[in-house]
Structure 1
Amino acid sequence: MSIRALRFLPLLLVFALFAASCGDDADSGSVDDTSAPAPTTAAPEPPAEEPVEEPTTVGLALPTARNDGGFSQSYYDGLLAAEAAYGLTIAVQDNAGDPEQTVDALRNLAATNDLVIGVGAQFAEAGTIVAPEFPDVKFAIVNGQATDDPNLHIYIVRQGVPAYPAGVIAAGLTQTNKVGFIGGLEIPPTTQSADAFSGGATSVNPDIETVSTVVGDFEDVAGAKEAAAAQIASGADVLFAFVNSGLEGVLQAVDESGEDVKIFSVIFPQCGRSTQLVGTATLSSLAQVDTMVSAFLSGSMPADLTLWGVEDPNIQSFVLCPDYASADLEAQVADLLAGINDGSIVLPPGV
């Protein structure tokens, strides 16, 4: 834990200062009265102030809005939970994912916080720039870029991993042998999820085709709707929506198409929004943020990369919506997750 300097009141040697300024002055006109008793007792020392430990401050940089209904909100919720659990003082800078904003966001937070967490690959390069400028601040970058800086700690979320079971389930649902992937921004978690979803589907049926569209923004409702409508028109009848607020556009396109198109989502299960939602590649940052903060507080932040797949279901997993959670499908999902963890299922390269 970063602990501020202990503050103590200075000793007040009032009498000594007075004697030094007034004694042995030949021109002062004072009378030497040897009969006057010399003072023998110094002023008492005031009691020392108790050490004051200031609360740990943690700053969080988010690429999108803290209430985006997806990736950023998950981490913001995680920070709020850590704030309550550890008595933190927190600061949040959201909507800071544009390249020209990431460096400034990390710098601003580093100026006033002990630990700075940058969420997403958007902050990868910024972390390598800002961490050397603040050697006394710890940086934890999710999906970041490792360097030799001892205060820069990298945590990699393998977001493609839970997309693989989604692809396997999609293969059993498609009637057209054509499925679609809609991504928000072309960053590693997006491309890895696209590869995993396609790989899962073709592991069941090599003839299944996956069409993929990256709209350029996880929050672009109109763009996601347009992409989904185009994929449905081309024959895709199962869609993986790797977007945040953009999910609303996918739901609109499916509803307006009149087709029986199934949908997979990410981060939070949102099954109640549509009967077409089959399942979710979940990501909960509660355990992630807790891991990073507790490691910081104990002085044990890892020097090596930390990788998160589906080993801990509290961090990542794949879950079915209740309408689709038959005993057979639940068992299939459990077998898929176990196979990924024990290595008997080989994921596509890079996932």
Structure 2
Amino acid sequence: MRRITRITTVGIASAALALSATACGKSSTDAGSSPSSSTGATKAAIAYDIGGRGDQSFNDAAYEGLKKAEDELGVKGAEAEPSEGEGDADKVQRLTALARAGNNPVIGVGFAYAPAIEKVAKAYPKTTFGLIDDTSKTGPNIANLVFNEEQGSYLAGVAAAKASKTGKVGFIGGVEVPLIKKFEAGFVQGVKATNPKAEVLTQYLTQPPNFDGFSKPDLGKAAAQGQLDKGADVIYAAAGLAGSGAIEATSKAGKWAIGVDSDQYNQKGLAAYKANILTSVTKDVSDSVFNLIKSVKDGKPQTGEIRYGLATDGVGLADSNPEYKKMTDLIAAVEKAEKDIVDGKITVKTTP
């Protein structure tokens, strides 16, 4: 039976007030400690990135890891959603409430949680904090769960170049930040290595501090339509929830879309467009979340940088679409590129 508790922003504030009252009453645990460590119960929480659960991509992958921990480890899970236009103070409040409630580990989904985790981890040294997609903030109780997105994106570039009939392909980045630049760099390199004459159309939806490019499907849809109008027949979007709009536009045009983070061919919310989702660049966010929770439950919490790349199946290219499996030349090119990356014959760029 699922026991995941979803916490809204209002719920967090209420919980924080209630928990503050408990702390003032001298609870059995010291400030900065995790109640679960004293009771032996295992509670784990994830705080979602922009777009929240239901993005069919990054956040949903993290949720699957929490659900797996519930099902296989008997963990009681909690989820906390972001609020639109929030700042670091909101994230600090959210993480503090989750830690104070006895969750261990507490996992921030996305680099935007870095400043908040750095602050809250110091206040709760007995709680393990997971920080996905960021290594800028470290600590003795922080696990930095990071991925070689550029490697998976290189494979997507190979696939795009092989599948394209027009010689024009598109890349859509949600927000122009260093993380998404890694996706662009790998993709462009893979395309050009496969077809030097190919043209890659690149567009970012927003610039920081505007992060709507990760949450507004209409932005992705409009960008994809613009690239389709220019002749692109394969479009790869690394844009979170906004990427679903790009997939919709590409599918309706009868062209190929490449998904990201999760195997988007199998996402229920994208079922209407799955026939045109050629493949997806997958990041094993699910297992990274599960592995961190399991390490805490086992009494050997992960800390420091934990990297997932091609060599460990931490990133890859999905082959769920039956049409993809029929493209023997494409598959052979992807498999060769994957082997060459793992063997060190190809070094994939992390910046365009």
Q: TM-score band (shorter)? A: 0.7 to 0.9
1:84-163 to 2 correspondences below 5 Å: 84-95=71-82, 98-100=86-88, 101-112=90-101, 113-147=103-137, 149-163=139-153
Which one has a larger percent helix, Structure 1 or Structure 2? 2
Q: Deviations over 1:185-225 (max 9, x none)?
A: 33333211111111100112333222222224333121111
Higher RCO, Cα 8 Å, sep 6+ = 2
- AA aligned opposite 2:306: T
Q: In the alignment, which residue of structure 1 is the partner of 2:335?
A: 334
- Conserved? CA contact 1:61–1:96, under 8 Å: no
CA distance in structure 2 between the aligned counterparts of 1:108 and 1:254, rounded to whole angstroms: 41
1:268 to 233, 238, 263: 263
Q: In the alignment, which residue of structure 2 is the partner of 1:29?
A: none
CA distance in structure 1 between the aligned counterparts of 2:170 and 2:213, rounded to whole angstroms: 17
TM-score, normalised by the number of residues in structure 2: 0.77
SS at match of 1:175: coil
Gaps of 5+ in 1: 7-51
Backbone CA RMSD of aligned residues: 2.6
CA distance in structure 2 between the aligned counterparts of 1:238 and 1:111, rounded to whole angstroms: 47
CA distance in structure 2 between the aligned counterparts of 1:198 and 1:304, rounded to whole angstroms: 30
Answer yes or no: is 1:59 the counterpart of 2:55.
no
Change (3 A) 1:334 1:116: same
Identity %: 26
Q: In the alignment, which residue of structure 2 is the partner of 1:15?
A: none
Q: Deviations over 1:115-158 (max 9, x none)?
A: 21111111122211221121221111112234453112211122
CA distance in structure 1 between the aligned counterparts of 2:274 and 2:134, rounded to whole angstroms: 34
2:217 to 215, 221, 224: 221
- AA aligned opposite 2:297: L
SS at match of 2:149: coil
CA distance in structure 2 between the aligned counterparts of 1:344 and 1:138, rounded to whole angstroms: 37
Q: In the alignment, which residue of structure 2 is the partner of 1:235?
A: 231
Q: In the alignment, which residue of structure 1 is the partner of 2:307?
A: 307
- AA aligned opposite 1:156: V
- AA aligned opposite 1:283: K
- Conserved? CA contact 2:150–2:182, under 8 Å: yes
Change (3 A) 1:96 1:151: farther
- AA aligned opposite 1:261: K
User: Which of 300-309 and 84-93 deviates more?
Assistant: 300-309
Change (3 A) 1:171 1:342: same
- AA aligned opposite 1:242: A
Larger radius of gyration: 1
CA distance in structure 2 between the aligned counterparts of 1:214 and 1:205, rounded to whole angstroms: 23
- AA aligned opposite 1:270: Y
1:273-288 to 2 correspondences below 5 Å: 273-288=273-288
CA distance in structure 2 between the aligned counterparts of 1:67 and 1:308, rounded to whole angstroms: 24
CA distance in structure 2 between the aligned counterparts of 1:122 and 1:79, rounded to whole angstroms: 20
1:159-198 to 2 correspondences below 5 Å: 159-198=149-188
SS at match of 2:275: coil
How many residue pairs are counted as aligned between the two chains? 300
SS at match of 1:162: helix
- AA aligned opposite 1:99: G
CA distance in structure 2 between the aligned counterparts of 1:105 and 1:350, rounded to whole angstroms: 32
Q: In the alignment, which residue of structure 2 is the partner of 1:204?
A: 194
CA distance in structure 1 between the aligned counterparts of 2:325 and 2:114, rounded to whole angstroms: 37
- Conserved? CA contact 2:105–2:292, under 8 Å: no
- AA aligned opposite 1:106: L
CA distance in structure 1 between the aligned counterparts of 2:166 and 2:242, rounded to whole angstroms: 25
User: Which of 182-191 and 286-295 deviates more?
Assistant: 182-191
- AA aligned opposite 2:98: L
- Conserved? CA contact 1:183–1:214, under 8 Å: yes
- Conserved? CA contact 1:157–1:307, under 8 Å: yes
SS at match of 1:347: coil
- Conserved? CA contact 1:96–1:105, under 8 Å: no
- AA aligned opposite 2:304: D
Change (3 A) 1:60 1:248: closer
CA distance in structure 2 between the aligned counterparts of 1:148 and 1:330, rounded to whole angstroms: 39
CA distance in structure 2 between the aligned counterparts of 1:152 and 1:53, rounded to whole angstroms: 22
SS at match of 1:217: helix
Q: Deviations over 1:68-126 (max 9, x none)?
A: 21110111111011022222222110235843432222122111123211111111222
- AA aligned opposite 1:59: A
- Conserved? CA contact 1:176–1:235, under 8 Å: yes
- Conserved? CA contact 2:131–2:142, under 8 Å: yes
Gaps of 5+ in 2: 1-26, 30-37, 206-211
